[in-house]
Amino acid sequence: MGKGQIIITGVSTGIGYAIAKAALASGFQVQGIGRRAPADLNGSSGWSFVQADLTQEKELESVPFLANESGGPTVLINNAGTLGPVMPAGKADWNGINHAMTLNVVAPMRMTARFLAEVSGERQVIFTGSGAAQFAIPGWSAYCASKSAIHMYAEVLQQEHPDVRIHAFKPGKVDTPMQAEIRATHQQDFPAVDAFKEEYEQGKLVAPETVAAKLLKVIEGPVEQPVVFALSQITL
């Protein structure tokens, strides 16, 4: 009997990909959801992939939740996300704001609602949150607002479903493609860009594999964290 099943959105790269690899190695079934499948996971025991663009209603609503054959818990990790428009708030247009809010907020809300309605047995729901939800960062209006919204959604959800473990974790600054996107922005759009470049050059970013290992420890361990917590609090 396996450890359970983990369903991960945004599994193509970065944190989602690292979680998928670590979960498979640890004995979980893993169902990945995204626009592109990680090629090196194809054929892995316990791995399955569903291609879907979660900004498209019909695609999101038709994603099947595969049966959990392990007997352990079923865990949904809402990880798919985007930085969104990086520029002063007044310059962000409808399309940029709408895409960021759809992927970062609407999609995980709908995916979670479907999960809780359609999946039975022991369940957990986890959101990739951000410290940006709690700090105003010039140039990141859509990202900050969207992550703040998802933190509050997790808090509400826990009140509505006290029998389900629900968390939003803050991973810190992780060495992912999103961080590369941040470093490529212009200072007039994102005044703090030089600080991000400096932290990268000094090797201060967290490895995605570290995030994955800590999150699996939370999933498999006792419930000790509040709904929203920083992953830096978890020791390996």
- At 89, phi and psi to the nearest 5? -55, -40
User: pTM of the entire structure?
Assistant: 0.96
Shortest CA distance to 167 belongs to which of 71, 233, 106? 233
Tokens 């000790």 locate to 224
Return the pLDDT at 200. Answer: 96
**Position 199 in a domain:** no
Helix/strand/coil (H, E, C) string of 47-79? EEEEECCCCCHHHHHCCCCCCCCCCCCEEEEEC
**Position 162 in a domain:** yes
Torsional sign, CA 56, 73, 36, 102: positive
pLDDT in tens, the chain (236 residues): 579 999 999 999 999 999 999 999 999 999 999 999 998 998 899 999 999 999 999 999 999 999 998 889 999 999 999 999 999 999 999 999 999 999 999 999 999 999 999 999 999 999 999 999 999 999 999 999 999 999 999 999 999 999 999 999 999 999 999 999 999 999 999 999 999 999 999 999 999 999 999 999 999 998 889 999 999 999 99
> What is the residue range of 28's domain?
5-172+207-233
Q: Among all residues, which ones are annotated catalytic?
A: 143
**Position 61 in a domain:** yes
CATH number of the domain where residue 164 is located: 3.40.50.720
Q: Is 174 helix (H, G, I), strand (E, B) or coil?
A: strand
Token pair for 83: 């930085």
The alpha carbon of residue 117 and the mean position of all alpha carbons in its chain are separated, in whole angstroms, by 20
71 residue type, one letter: G
How far apart CA 143 and CA 103 sit, in angstroms, is 11
**Position 194 in a domain:** no
How far apart CA 107 and CA 95 sit, in angstroms, is 16
**Position 201 in a domain:** no
Number of domains within the chain? 1
The span from the first CA to the last CA of the chain, in angstroms, equals 25
Token pair for 157: 């959800």
**Position 139 in a domain:** yes
Return the pLDDT at 1. Answer: 58
**Position 168 in a domain:** yes
**Position 202 in a domain:** no
